[in-house]
Structure 1
Amino acid sequence: MPHAMLPEATLPLLAAAFPGQKIELLAPTAGGFSHPSAFLAIGGQRCVAKAAEAAPKRAGLRHEAAVLGALTGRGVAAPALVALCESAEWAVEVLAALPGEPGVACYGRAPAEQDAVLVHE
Protein backbone atom coordinates (compact mmCIF):
# COMPACT_ATOMS: atom_id res chain seq x y z
CA MET A 1 0.00 0.00 0.00
CA PRO A 2 2.93 2.49 -0.38
CA HIS A 3 2.04 5.93 -1.68
CA ALA A 4 4.21 8.95 -2.42
CA MET A 5 1.93 11.29 -0.48
CA LEU A 6 1.57 9.31 2.75
CA PRO A 7 4.70 8.13 4.55
CA GLU A 8 4.99 4.37 4.93
CA ALA A 9 5.19 4.76 8.73
CA THR A 10 1.61 6.11 8.82
CA LEU A 11 -0.01 3.12 7.15
CA PRO A 12 -0.03 0.89 10.27
CA LEU A 13 -1.82 3.70 12.15
CA LEU A 14 -4.56 3.72 9.53
CA ALA A 15 -4.83 -0.07 9.59
CA ALA A 16 -5.16 -0.06 13.40
CA ALA A 17 -7.81 2.69 13.33
CA PHE A 18 -9.94 0.82 10.79
CA PRO A 19 -9.56 -2.88 11.62
CA GLY A 20 -10.98 -5.24 9.04
CA GLN A 21 -11.73 -2.43 6.58
CA LYS A 22 -10.12 -2.23 3.18
CA ILE A 23 -7.93 0.88 2.87
CA GLU A 24 -7.11 1.99 -0.65
CA LEU A 25 -4.75 4.86 -1.38
CA LEU A 26 -6.27 6.52 -4.43
CA ALA A 27 -4.37 9.69 -5.38
CA PRO A 28 -2.42 12.63 -4.01
CA THR A 29 -4.40 15.70 -3.10
CA ALA A 30 -4.05 18.94 -5.09
CA GLY A 31 -3.07 22.13 -3.33
CA GLY A 32 -2.11 22.46 0.28
CA PHE A 33 1.46 22.60 1.46
CA SER A 34 1.65 21.77 5.14
CA HIS A 35 1.18 18.03 5.35
CA PRO A 36 1.67 14.93 3.22
CA SER A 37 -1.88 14.05 2.16
CA ALA A 38 -3.83 11.71 -0.08
CA PHE A 39 -7.31 10.70 -1.12
CA LEU A 40 -8.22 7.24 0.11
CA ALA A 41 -11.14 4.92 0.36
CA ILE A 42 -11.73 3.31 3.74
CA GLY A 43 -14.38 0.63 3.74
CA GLY A 44 -15.73 2.21 0.56
CA GLN A 45 -15.94 5.75 2.02
CA ARG A 46 -13.92 8.38 0.14
CA CYS A 47 -11.65 10.22 2.57
CA VAL A 48 -8.69 12.56 2.76
CA ALA A 49 -5.79 11.72 5.07
CA LYS A 50 -3.21 14.24 6.30
CA ALA A 51 -0.05 13.11 8.08
CA ALA A 52 2.38 15.03 10.29
CA GLU A 53 5.63 14.01 11.94
CA ALA A 54 7.05 17.19 13.50
CA ALA A 55 5.57 17.97 16.93
CA PRO A 56 4.15 21.40 15.92
CA LYS A 57 2.52 19.89 12.82
CA ARG A 58 1.03 17.04 14.90
CA ALA A 59 -0.36 19.64 17.31
CA GLY A 60 -1.86 21.47 14.32
CA LEU A 61 -3.66 18.33 13.17
CA ARG A 62 -4.98 17.72 16.70
CA HIS A 63 -6.25 21.31 16.82
CA GLU A 64 -7.92 21.00 13.41
CA ALA A 65 -9.53 17.72 14.48
CA ALA A 66 -10.90 19.38 17.64
CA VAL A 67 -12.34 22.29 15.64
CA LEU A 68 -13.93 19.98 13.06
CA GLY A 69 -15.38 17.87 15.86
CA ALA A 70 -16.90 21.00 17.42
CA LEU A 71 -18.46 21.98 14.08
CA THR A 72 -20.24 18.65 13.63
CA GLY A 73 -24.00 19.10 13.48
CA ARG A 74 -23.85 22.91 13.42
CA GLY A 75 -24.72 23.41 9.74
CA VAL A 76 -21.21 24.47 8.73
CA ALA A 77 -19.90 23.24 5.38
CA ALA A 78 -16.82 21.50 6.71
CA PRO A 79 -15.54 17.97 6.25
CA ALA A 80 -16.51 15.48 8.93
CA LEU A 81 -13.70 14.16 11.09
CA VAL A 82 -13.51 10.40 10.54
CA ALA A 83 -10.50 9.67 12.77
CA LEU A 84 -7.38 11.07 14.36
CA CYS A 85 -4.71 8.37 14.62
CA GLU A 86 -1.54 8.99 16.62
CA SER A 87 1.69 7.34 17.64
CA ALA A 88 4.71 8.80 19.42
CA GLU A 89 6.08 9.94 16.04
CA TRP A 90 3.07 10.56 13.78
CA ALA A 91 -0.44 11.99 13.67
CA VAL A 92 -2.84 11.13 10.84
CA GLU A 93 -6.11 13.01 10.47
CA VAL A 94 -8.77 11.33 8.33
CA LEU A 95 -11.59 13.49 6.95
CA ALA A 96 -14.63 12.64 4.87
CA ALA A 97 -14.02 13.86 1.32
CA LEU A 98 -16.41 16.57 0.19
CA PRO A 99 -17.84 16.72 -3.33
CA GLY A 100 -16.33 19.15 -5.80
CA GLU A 101 -12.77 20.12 -6.52
CA PRO A 102 -10.09 21.82 -4.44
CA GLY A 103 -10.25 25.62 -4.43
CA VAL A 104 -6.73 25.85 -5.80
CA ALA A 105 -7.98 24.27 -9.04
CA CYS A 106 -9.97 27.40 -9.89
CA TYR A 107 -6.93 29.67 -10.13
CA GLY A 108 -6.14 28.48 -13.66
CA ARG A 109 -9.57 29.63 -14.86
CA ALA A 110 -10.70 32.95 -16.30
CA PRO A 111 -11.52 35.60 -13.65
CA ALA A 112 -15.29 35.35 -14.23
CA GLU A 113 -15.13 31.58 -13.68
CA GLN A 114 -13.08 32.11 -10.52
CA ASP A 115 -15.74 34.46 -9.16
CA ALA A 116 -18.45 31.87 -9.84
CA VAL A 117 -16.51 29.30 -7.82
CA LEU A 118 -15.20 31.47 -5.00
CA VAL A 119 -18.09 33.87 -4.36
CA HIS A 120 -21.23 32.44 -2.78
CA GLU A 121 -24.17 34.61 -1.80
Structure 2
Amino acid sequence: MTNRSHYYLQINDLAHARGTDSSLSYSGAGPNDLAAALQEALRSPLLFQRWRVMQPDPDSVDERLGITDQLATVTAKVADLHTEVSVISDLPMSILRQRLNWLIGASWQLHDVRPA
Protein backbone atom coordinates (compact mmCIF):
# COMPACT_ATOMS: atom_id res chain seq x y z
CA MET A 1 0.00 0.00 0.00
CA THR A 2 1.38 3.38 -0.96
CA ASN A 3 1.06 6.61 0.97
CA ARG A 4 -0.27 8.82 -1.79
CA SER A 5 -0.80 12.41 -0.75
CA HIS A 6 -2.73 15.24 -2.30
CA TYR A 7 -0.75 18.47 -2.00
CA TYR A 8 -2.55 21.81 -2.47
CA LEU A 9 -0.24 24.66 -3.45
CA GLN A 10 -0.61 28.30 -4.42
CA ILE A 11 1.60 30.55 -6.53
CA ASN A 12 0.83 34.25 -6.29
CA ASP A 13 2.78 35.44 -9.34
CA LEU A 14 3.40 32.63 -11.81
CA ALA A 15 4.70 35.05 -14.45
CA HIS A 16 7.73 35.77 -12.25
CA ALA A 17 8.08 32.39 -10.55
CA ARG A 18 11.50 31.08 -11.50
CA GLY A 19 14.18 29.03 -9.81
CA THR A 20 17.54 30.58 -8.99
CA ASP A 21 19.40 28.57 -11.64
CA SER A 22 18.09 29.18 -15.14
CA SER A 23 19.31 25.78 -16.35
CA LEU A 24 16.88 24.08 -13.94
CA SER A 25 14.17 26.74 -13.83
CA TYR A 26 10.65 26.60 -15.23
CA SER A 27 10.40 28.64 -18.41
CA GLY A 28 6.76 28.18 -19.41
CA ALA A 29 4.02 30.68 -19.94
CA GLY A 30 1.10 29.52 -17.84
CA PRO A 31 -0.48 27.04 -15.45
CA ASN A 32 -0.59 24.18 -17.95
CA ASP A 33 3.12 24.59 -18.72
CA LEU A 34 3.95 24.59 -15.02
CA ALA A 35 1.82 21.50 -14.39
CA ALA A 36 3.58 19.68 -17.23
CA ALA A 37 7.05 20.74 -16.02
CA LEU A 38 6.40 19.75 -12.41
CA GLN A 39 4.79 16.46 -13.39
CA GLU A 40 7.82 15.64 -15.54
CA ALA A 41 10.14 16.60 -12.64
CA LEU A 42 8.28 14.21 -10.34
CA ARG A 43 8.01 11.33 -12.81
CA SER A 44 11.41 11.49 -14.46
CA PRO A 45 14.95 11.66 -13.00
CA LEU A 46 16.14 14.15 -15.67
CA LEU A 47 15.84 17.35 -13.59
CA PHE A 48 17.57 15.66 -10.65
CA GLN A 49 20.34 14.38 -12.92
CA ARG A 50 20.91 17.88 -14.35
CA TRP A 51 21.13 19.28 -10.82
CA ARG A 52 23.40 16.45 -9.67
CA VAL A 53 26.06 17.04 -12.34
CA MET A 54 26.20 20.70 -11.27
CA GLN A 55 27.31 19.73 -7.75
CA PRO A 56 31.00 19.92 -6.73
CA ASP A 57 31.12 16.15 -6.16
CA PRO A 58 28.22 14.57 -8.10
CA ASP A 59 29.19 11.05 -7.02
CA SER A 60 28.67 11.95 -3.36
CA VAL A 61 25.05 13.08 -3.89
CA ASP A 62 22.60 10.74 -2.19
CA GLU A 63 20.77 8.80 -4.93
CA ARG A 64 17.62 8.77 -2.79
CA LEU A 65 17.20 12.47 -3.59
CA GLY A 66 16.46 11.43 -7.16
CA ILE A 67 13.47 9.20 -6.44
CA THR A 68 10.52 9.54 -8.78
CA ASP A 69 6.84 8.64 -8.91
CA GLN A 70 5.72 7.40 -12.32
CA LEU A 71 2.09 7.93 -11.30
CA ALA A 72 2.41 11.51 -10.04
CA THR A 73 -0.22 13.87 -11.41
CA VAL A 74 -0.15 17.65 -11.42
CA THR A 75 -2.84 20.12 -12.42
CA ALA A 76 -2.75 23.87 -12.23
CA LYS A 77 -5.29 26.60 -12.88
CA VAL A 78 -5.69 30.33 -12.48
CA ALA A 79 -8.04 31.26 -9.64
CA ASP A 80 -8.66 34.91 -8.82
CA LEU A 81 -5.20 36.50 -9.05
CA HIS A 82 -3.10 33.43 -8.27
CA THR A 83 -2.39 29.93 -9.55
CA GLU A 84 -3.65 26.88 -7.71
CA VAL A 85 -1.62 23.70 -8.10
CA SER A 86 -2.76 20.22 -7.16
CA VAL A 87 -0.20 17.40 -6.86
CA ILE A 88 -1.02 13.77 -6.19
CA SER A 89 2.05 11.67 -5.45
CA ASP A 90 3.61 9.19 -3.10
CA LEU A 91 6.80 11.26 -2.97
CA PRO A 92 7.57 12.88 0.39
CA MET A 93 7.16 16.63 0.83
CA SER A 94 10.95 17.04 0.97
CA ILE A 95 11.26 15.79 -2.63
CA LEU A 96 8.30 17.87 -3.85
CA ARG A 97 9.86 20.94 -2.18
CA GLN A 98 13.21 20.21 -3.83
CA ARG A 99 11.71 19.99 -7.34
CA LEU A 100 9.47 23.04 -6.84
CA ASN A 101 12.42 25.11 -5.62
CA TRP A 102 14.50 24.14 -8.65
CA LEU A 103 11.64 25.03 -10.99
CA ILE A 104 10.11 28.14 -9.42
CA GLY A 105 12.20 29.06 -6.39
CA ALA A 106 10.37 30.07 -3.22
CA SER A 107 7.39 31.43 -5.15
CA TRP A 108 4.94 28.83 -3.85
CA GLN A 109 2.98 28.12 -0.68
CA LEU A 110 1.70 24.81 0.61
CA HIS A 111 -1.90 25.17 1.79
CA ASP A 112 -2.93 21.64 2.64
CA VAL A 113 -1.92 17.98 2.45
CA ARG A 114 -4.47 15.18 2.56
CA PRO A 115 -4.40 11.47 1.87
CA ALA A 116 -5.14 10.86 -1.81
> If the length of structure 2 is used for normalisation, what is the TM-score?
0.28
Q: Rg: which structure is higher?
A: 1
Greater RCO (CA < 8 Å, at least 6 residues apart): 2
